[in-house]
């Protein structure tokens, strides 16, 4: 019986596919399998690309290619003078997708908005545990559980959020993937049928594409959402061909088995660029890789020692060998594409002689240290091990013996937060919402400097932290910019990190693909894409 | 015969319990934990961490967790993946046909080529055919298949562009997959070219996976044949003037097949190990790749139940081979 | 040896046995070539610092991904080219021989010793000891070896030492089973009975009386395990769980080179070729050993 339904469903889809003779299909060679299709419980960009960015939309959106906030499901909003109350006016007549597993009977309204957030923060919500053991990491870690004091439905199309304290990045948070708006009607229906888990497997949203089928670890199929409130996508069918290996993705692109792919291997970039059938888009990634000293450990508690080591390491050589030139040397803790980036700051020069001298002046001789290199590839660091080897060689040149250590990734993340950690740790960060607070506050403030915190340098500078707090509570953009610029000066002066690089993100695609816009946040969206026949 | 089967089964039960202990305890002493991995660079507060561990049941004594695990196994519940939140068994069943299809094609290639080559090589012992094929077989036996796969991709997919790079079928085709076997489903779909596309996608991975079993089977067949050809009764048959074809076909081949069948059965474990590498190289959506990914994600429930399911399958196949062997060769049954 | 009377039915002296062995071994031409290559490999590994033109982990930042000398852009400074961080491939391959041989020796030693002890104990004592040991071996054998090794390495932490331990553990049951079978076969032979009557202790019986008479299959299995260990270690390295960079282990080199598959064929092809040839040579030798040691095949 079940088989028969699948057959029927599939033949219906086939009819659709066959009916549109000129159906335009775009195949995207995605880098991995999504964990599920409900974005809220997950944390990986791969999952978000396959769910939040295709199937769903949010109250506010990031304008394509930028990190600035534009209206989404909310057509307008007002913020009270004390910065505590946000009132959103919803777009009227927004339809949830109609699929073979769900037909909506009403348009989007304030209940859906409140439900989308309440189910994540409120353990009493019947849908909080729709799959046993599910948790909402992003909601918690962005602090929305404590930030939102209350939500109120004013009328069907008006919803009011009250915050517990003024927080400038709040709007940006609402544009993030976990804040995708889901259908309360669909959730209620599933709950009544006792099929809650389907919420994650057969998703319903208001986004530009609707879900058709997923074959585990192989392929995801979508089709354009004809009832989308924005401009209907120019392509009719969107296919994610899951290919975890970068070399395989490149091969498939060359063979036109897909037309666009993310994350090419640095080694392949030259060849892909040179290919006349392909276009290569590139953009500075919203990320940073760093080597964090343990500023509580002697002699790294001495700022001069940290500066000396910074001067001993040839960062350009790392860019050349590890990134094959596809990155830029970092001098600030935030990437150059982010507002408030302080370009006036001068980086510590590469000067081994001077470095040697400074170490001697600081009374440090025969220094031996550990460099932690993570075992995995990250967007900001394709090969930490190779980077560490290069650093090791550079440090040897000024008489510092470095030993490279590594742990299993989970252990690495945990052990690196220990206050008595021995050695400097290579790590990095990818921005979530384009706000400088999301970099500096998370990675360098006093709040996060404790045991288990994400400030791996254990660096607590009162002056620096005060600037960040002030900036987060202000809603005046110019004032915030100036505060963050000052903070970066203190950062460079105190050198808790060796800032290594900001990687460049590449997106090779067939010449036939038009209208693709790279997101500085690293997500992949296809609503604006067209493909020539 | 029933006594024989029962005897074998009583061996299996302690082994199976041993397997559950190994699968469970190895996974629990894996360093690192899935909760931290999910949090990534962000980290989480100690309180929240405790709460997460409690939610997943990892905060209770190990033996309690083990007993509960066994209890749930008895009810057919293999646990849920931490990452996808899906039941492990449904993920396994979704991916297993892909591995099975690949393994099946590989074993067919290995037997279809390996057995005749082995027989011929034995019959023409010392000839150039024997020497060449046995050298090639030894090279195949010595092959690092992950490298071999890469070479084939570079050459056939890259340079020549003959075969697709990865995947199970061209994305142009979309049809229901009731059996999970792409070759069968593509035929059932009735779409033109679908079967050819599925076959095309299967060819390189199955060649790579077949390499070592093929070499082993060819070599085994040859030596089994040689041994049988040297036995008294074959020599007697020859001396009695039976036609050489009949001697080989009826007497020698049938007897030589007994060890060969065992060898083929033993290749199942080899195929499973090979599938891990082959699937990784060809991005083949099967259980080998799934296991490797789950190990690196520390997805405990998947790793432990995956180990269990795979070992269970290997055990059942070995049991069948054993029984077949007993059926063919009564001497084993009584010893 | 002073106790020749109880060591069993040795046909002649050790020298004679060796001569006979060599006679049969030499008949297999492949085996002799394999032996030559293996000896060359051992010499290469021993003299690696002398033979290698460069330090295998020194990086020449001005020569990244230089092709081999015969190709355009190559130079004779780096005969087989360089890798992504400018290390000489030839030197890395030469030093890599050390790791592969080392892996083979360590894995075979651990699994041989472990397997023999377990097999002897199991076969000699029988009863529940035998049952327990053999069930444990069954459990290990029920898992595909690479999968079990992979999980073991994940438990122990990635690295060469742990990879070797893991591979030794998964290959050890073969030795245990072989030894047990041989012990069961020999246990009731006359010479063992004689030794027992003569008052030989159990340990002495096991190691000095029975063991030398089951060596042949063990030696053959040891060569198989030797090449198997090299392959498995390379596979673990390839999956990122074996030796860690910058160790010039061949499998690890291959894993690091994978991203260059489209761009620099030499970093992908050469380490794999080195693995293949080495494993092939050892397997050739193994065939020769089997022919020379297995009396049944000798006849035919």
Q: What is the mean pLDDT of residues A366-391?
A: 87
CB A291 within 8 A of CB A471: no
Picking from A268, A270, A321, the nearest residue to C84 by CB comes out as A321
Burial of B254 (0-12, 13-18, 19+ CB in 10 A): exposed
A455 in the Ramachandran plot: left (φ > 0), alpha (ψ -120 to 50) or beta?
beta
Per DSSP, A198 falls in state H
Min Cα–Cα distance to chain B from C163, Å? 15
Q: What is the pLDDT of residues B252-311, one digit of tens each?
A: 777 778 778 878 877 877 888 889 999 988 888 899 989 988 887 778 888 889 999 998
Q: What is the mean pLDDT of residues A139-148?
A: 85
Mention every residue, 6+ apart, whose C-beta is less than 8 A from residue A88.
Answer: A59, A74, A76, A77, A113, A158, A159, A160, A161
Q: Which residue has the tokens 């699968």?
A: B23
Q: Taking chain A, what is the end-to-end CA distance rounded to the nearest angstrom?
A: 40
Q: What is the pLDDT of residues A120-130, one digit of tens each?
A: 988 889 888 88
Task: Give the model's confidence band at C259: pLDDT under 50 very low, under 70 low, under 90 confident, else very high.
Answer: confident
Q: What is the pLDDT of residues C36-75, one digit of tens each?
A: 999 999 999 999 888 888 888 777 777 778 888 888 887 8
Q: Which two tokens stand for residue C268?
A: 């992908």
| Helices C89-125 + C160-187 axis angle, to 10 | 40
Classify C133 as helix, strand or coil: helix
Picking from B11, B138, B223, the nearest residue to C283 by CB comes out as B138
Min Cα–Cα distance to chain A from C46, Å? 26
Q: What is the pTM of this model?
A: 0.80
Residue A321 near chain C (CB below 8 Å): yes
Q: What is the pLDDT of residues C213-254, one digit of tens each?
A: 777 788 888 988 999 999 999 999 888 788 776 788 898 888
The C-alpha atoms of residue C183 and residue C193 are separated, in whole angstroms, by: 13
pLDDT of residue B86: 83
Alpha-carbon Rg for chain A, nearest whole angstrom, is 25
Between A475-479, B27-31, B285-289, C286-290, the lowest mean confidence (pLDDT) is in B27-31
Q: Which residue of C has its CA nearest to B25?
A: C155
Min Cα–Cα distance to chain B from C13, Å? 30
Mention every residue, 6+ apart, whose C-beta is less than 8 A from residue A357.
Answer: none
Per DSSP, A381 falls in state B
pLDDT of residue B244: 67
The C-alpha atoms of residue A49 and residue A263 are separated, in whole angstroms, by: 13
Within the 296-315 window of chain B, which residues sit less than 8 Å (CB to CB) from chain A? 296, 298
Mention every residue, 6+ apart, whose C-beta is less than 8 A from residue A115.
Answer: A125, A127, A182, A184, A187
Site from A40, A216, A375 to mutate, B interface, most B CB atoms within 10 angstroms: A216
pLDDT of residue A99: 94
Helix (H) or strand (E) holding C38: helix C29-46
Q: Which residue has the tokens 């009564």?
A: B330
Phi, psi of A49 (to 5 degrees): -60, -40
CB C233 within 8 A of CB C100: yes
Chains contacting chain A through 3 or more C-beta pairs under 8 A: B, C
Q: What is the mean pLDDT of residues A126-152?
A: 85
The runs of H, that is alpha helices, within A264-332 are: 269-274, 303-312, 315-322
Contacts of B15 in chain C (CB under 8 A): 135, 138-139, 142
Query: Measuring CA to CA, how many Å separate A232 from each of A64, A195, A223, A229?
Result: 15, 31, 11, 8
pLDDT of residue B60: 79
Query: Measuring CA to CA, how many Å separate A511 from each of B330, C21, C243, C264?
Result: 68, 68, 42, 26
Contacts of B167 in chain A (CB under 8 A): 218-219, 241, 243, 252, 257
Contacts of A252 in chain B (CB under 8 A): 164-167
Site from C34, C154, C263 to mutate, B interface, most B CB atoms within 10 angstroms: C154
Q: Is the dihedral of CA B88, B90, B94, B97 positive or negative?
A: positive
Classify C19 as helix, strand or coil: helix
Mention every residue, 6+ apart, whose C-beta is less than 8 A from residue B10.
Answer: none
Q: What share of chain C is helix, strand, coil (3-state, %, to 5)?
A: 75, 0, 25
Q: Taking chain B, what is the end-to-end CA distance rounded to the nearest angstrom?
A: 12
Q: Which two tokens stand for residue B63?
A: 């033996």
Task: Give the model's confidence band at C2: pLDDT under 50 very low, under 70 low, under 90 confident, else very high.
Answer: very low
DSSP assignment of A109-159 equals: -HHHHHHHHHHHH-TTSTTTTSSTT---HHHHHTTHHHHEEEEEEEETTEE
User: Among residues C36, C235, C169, C227, which one has the least CA distance to residue B215?
Assistant: C227
Mention every residue, 6+ apart, whose C-beta is less than 8 A from residue A356.
Answer: A308, A312, A398, A399
The C-alpha atoms of residue A115 and residue A249 are separated, in whole angstroms, by: 39
Q: What is the pLDDT of residues A244-280, one digit of tens each?
A: 888 788 888 988 889 999 988 877 888 889 999 999 9
Q: What is the mean pLDDT of residues A407-430?
A: 85
Are the beta carbons of C245 and A271 separated by less than 8 Å? no
The C-alpha atoms of residue C291 and residue C27 are separated, in whole angstroms, by: 9
Pairing of strands A278-284, A237-242: unpaired
DSSP assignment of C66-124 equals: PPPTTSTT-BTTBTT-B-TT--BHHHHHHHHHHHHHHHHHHHHHHHHHHHHHHHHHHHH
Q: What is the pLDDT of residues C141-199, one digit of tens each?
A: 888 888 889 888 887 777 888 899 999 999 999 899 888 888 887 777 777 777 777 77
CB A152 within 8 A of CB A117: no
Mention every residue, 6+ apart, whose C-beta is less than 8 A from residue A180.
Answer: A39, A40, A51, A52, A56, A57, A58, A116, A205
Classify C43 as helix, strand or coil: helix
CB B200 within 8 A of CB B130: no
Are the beta carbons of B272 and C144 separated by less than 8 Å? yes
Picking from A268, A406, A407, the nearest residue to C262 by CB comes out as A268
Picking from A246, A266, A393, the nearest residue to C59 by CB comes out as A393
Are the beta carbons of C235 and B277 separated by less than 8 Å? yes
CB A373 within 8 A of CB A406: yes
List, run by run, the mean pLDDT of 10-residue segments along chain B (335 residues).
Answer: 77 84 78 68 74 76 84 86 84 91 93 93 90 93 92 83 81 80 86 87 94 92 85 71 68 78 80 88 88 83 89 85 73 52
CB B41 within 8 A of CB A381: no
* pLDDT value at C109 more than 70: yes
Contacts of A4 in chain B (CB under 8 A): none
Q: What is the mean pLDDT of residues A215-224?
A: 91
Residue-averaged pLDDT of chain A: 88
Q: Is the dihedral of CA C274, C104, B274, A267 positive or negative?
A: negative
Min Cα–Cα distance to chain A from B134, Å? 33
Residue A375 near chain C (CB below 8 Å): yes
């Amino acid at each position: 019986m079940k088989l028969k339904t699948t057959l029927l469903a599939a033949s219906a889809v086939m009819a659709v596919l066959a009916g549109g003779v000129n159906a335009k299909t775009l195949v995207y060679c995605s880098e991995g399998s999504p964990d599920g299709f409900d974005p809220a419980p997950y944390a990986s960009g791969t999952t978000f690309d396959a769910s939040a960015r295709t199937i769903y939309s949010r109250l506010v959106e990031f304008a394509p290619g930028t990190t600035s906030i534009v209206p989404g499901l909310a057509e307008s909003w007002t913020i009270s003078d004390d910065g505590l109350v946000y009132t959103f006016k919803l777009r009227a007549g927004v339809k949830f997708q109609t699929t073979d597993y769900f037909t909506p009977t009403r348009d989007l309204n304030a209940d859906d908005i409140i439900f989308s957030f309440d189910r994540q923060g409120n353990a009493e919500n019947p849908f909080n545990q729709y799959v046993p053991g599910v948790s909402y990491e992003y909601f918690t870690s962005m602090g929305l559980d404590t930030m939102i004091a209350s939500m109120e439905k004013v009328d069907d199309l008006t919803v009011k959020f009250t915050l517990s304290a003024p927080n400038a990045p709040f709007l940006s948070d609402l544009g993030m993937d976990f804040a995708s708006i889901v259908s309360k009607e669909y959730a209620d229906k599933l709950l009544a049928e006792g099929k809650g888990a389907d919420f994650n497997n057969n998703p319903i949203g208001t986004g530009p594409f609707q879900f058709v089928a997923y074959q585990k670890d192989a392929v995801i199929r979508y089709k354009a959402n004809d009832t989308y409130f924005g401009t209907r996508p120019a392509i009719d069918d969107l296919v994610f061909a899951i290919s975890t290996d970068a070399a395989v993705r490149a091969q498939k692109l060359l063979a036109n088995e897909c037309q666009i792919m993310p994350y090419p291997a640095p080694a392949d970039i030259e060849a892909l660029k040179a290919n006349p059938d392909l276009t290569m888009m590139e953009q500075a990634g919203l990320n940073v890789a760093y080597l964090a000293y343990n500023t509580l450990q002697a002699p790294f508690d001495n700022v001069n020692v940290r500066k000396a080591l910074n001067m001993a390491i040839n960062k350009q050589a790392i860019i050349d060998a590890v990134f094959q030139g596809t990155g830029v040397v970092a001098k600030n803790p935030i990437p150059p594409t982010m507002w408030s980036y302080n370009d006036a700051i001068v980086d510590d020069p590469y000067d081994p002689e001077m470095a040697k001298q400074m170490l001697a002046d600081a009374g440090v001789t025969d220094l031996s240290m550990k460099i932690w290199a993570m075992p995995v590839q990250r967007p900001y660091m394709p090969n930490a091990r190779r980077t560490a080897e290069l650093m090791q060689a550079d440090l040897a040149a000024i008489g510092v013996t470095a030993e490279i250590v590594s742990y299993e990734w989970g252990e690495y993340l945990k052990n690196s937060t220990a206050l008595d950690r021995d050695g400097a740790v290579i790590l990095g960060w990818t921005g979530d919402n384009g706000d400088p607070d999301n970099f500096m506050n998370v990675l360098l403030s006093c709040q996060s400097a404790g045991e288990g915190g994400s400030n791996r340098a254990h660096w607590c500078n009162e002056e620096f932290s005060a600037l960040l707090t002030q900036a987060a509570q202000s809603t005046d953009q110019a004032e915030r910019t100036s505060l963050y610029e000052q903070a970066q000066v203190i950062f460079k002066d105190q050198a808790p990190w060796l800032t290594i690089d900001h990687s460049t993100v590449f997106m090779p695609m067939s010449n036939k693909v038009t209208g693709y816009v790279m997101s500085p946040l690293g997500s992949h969206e296809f609503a604006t894409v067209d493909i020539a026949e | 015969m029933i006594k024989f089967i029962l005897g074998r089964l009583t061996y299996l039960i302690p082994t199976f319990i041993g397997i559950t202990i190994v699968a469970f305890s190895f996974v629990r002493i894996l360093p690192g934990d899935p909760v931290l991995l999910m949090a990534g660079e962000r980290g989480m507060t100690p309180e929240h961490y405790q709460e997460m561990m409690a939610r997943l049941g990892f905060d209770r004594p190990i033996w309690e967790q083990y007993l509960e695990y066994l209890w749930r196994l008895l009810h057919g519940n293999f646990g849920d993946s931490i990452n996808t939140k899906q039941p492990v068994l449904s993920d396994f069943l979704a991916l297993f046909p892909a591995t099975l299809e690949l393994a099946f094609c590989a074993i067919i290639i290995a037997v279809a080529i390996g057995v005749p080559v082995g027989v011929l090589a034995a019959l023409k012992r010392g000839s150039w055919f024997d020497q060449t094929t046995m050298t090639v077989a030894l090279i195949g036996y010595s092959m690092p298949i992950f490298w071999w796969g890469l070479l084939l991709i570079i050459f056939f997919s890259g340079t020549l562009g003959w075969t697709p790079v990865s995947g199970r079928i061209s994305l142009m085709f979309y049809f229901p997959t009731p059996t999970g076997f792409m070759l069968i489903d593509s035929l059932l779909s009735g779409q033109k070219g679908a079967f050819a596309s599925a076959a095309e996608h299967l060819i390189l991975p199955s060649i790579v996976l077949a390499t070592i079993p093929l070499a082993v089977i060819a070599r085994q067949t040859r030596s089994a044949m040689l041994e049988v050809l040297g036995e008294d009764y074959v020599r007697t048959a020859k001396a009695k003037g039976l036609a050489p074809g009949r001697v080989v076909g009826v007497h020698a081949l049938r007897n030589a097949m007994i060890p060969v069948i065992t060898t083929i059965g033993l290749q199942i474990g080899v195929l499973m190990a090979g599938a891990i590498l082959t699937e990784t190289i060809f991005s083949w959506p099967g259980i080998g790749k799934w296991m490797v990914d789950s190990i690196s994600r520390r997805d405990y429930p998947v790793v432990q139940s995956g180990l269990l399911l795979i070992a269970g399958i290997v055990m059942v196949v070995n049991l069948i081979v054993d029984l077949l062997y007993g059926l063919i060769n009564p001497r084993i049954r009584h010893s | 040896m002073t106790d020749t009377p109880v060591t069993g039915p040795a046909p002649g002296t050790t020298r004679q046995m060796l001569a006979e062995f060599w006679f049969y071994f030499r008949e297999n031409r492949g085996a002799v070539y394999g032996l030559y290559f293996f000896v060359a490999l051992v010499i290469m590994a021993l003299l690696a610092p002398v033979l290698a033109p460069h330090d295998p982990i020194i990086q020449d930042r001005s020569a990244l991904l230089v092709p081999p000398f015969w190709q355009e852009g190559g130079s004779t400074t780096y005969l087989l080219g360089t890798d992504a961080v400018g290390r000489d491939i030839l030197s890395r391959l030469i030093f890599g021989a050390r790791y592969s041989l080392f892996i083979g020796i360590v894995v075979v030693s651990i699994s041989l010793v472990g397997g023999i002890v377990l097999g002897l104990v199991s076969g000699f004592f029988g009863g529940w000891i035998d049952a327990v040991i053999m069930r444990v071996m069954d459990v290990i054998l029920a898992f595909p070896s690479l999968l079990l090794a992979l999980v073991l390495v994940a438990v122990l932490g990635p690295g060469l030492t742990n990879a070797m331990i893991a591979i030794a553990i998964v290959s050890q049951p073969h030795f245990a089973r072989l030894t047990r079978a041989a012990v069961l076969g020999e246990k009731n032979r006359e010479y063992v009975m004689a030794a027992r009557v003569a008052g030989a202790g159990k340990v002495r019986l096991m190691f000095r009386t029975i063991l030398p008479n089951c060596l042949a299959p063990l030696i053959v299995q040891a060569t198989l395990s030797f090449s198997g260990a090299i392959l498995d270690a390379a596979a673990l390295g390839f999956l990122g769980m074996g030796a860690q960079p910058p160790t010039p282990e061949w499998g690890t080199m291959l894993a690091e080179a994978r991203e260059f598959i489209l761009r620099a064929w030499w970093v992908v092809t050469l380490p794999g070729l080195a693995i293949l040839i080495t494993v092939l040579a050892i397997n050739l030798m193994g065939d020769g050993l089997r022919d020379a040691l297995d009396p049944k095949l000798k006849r035919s």
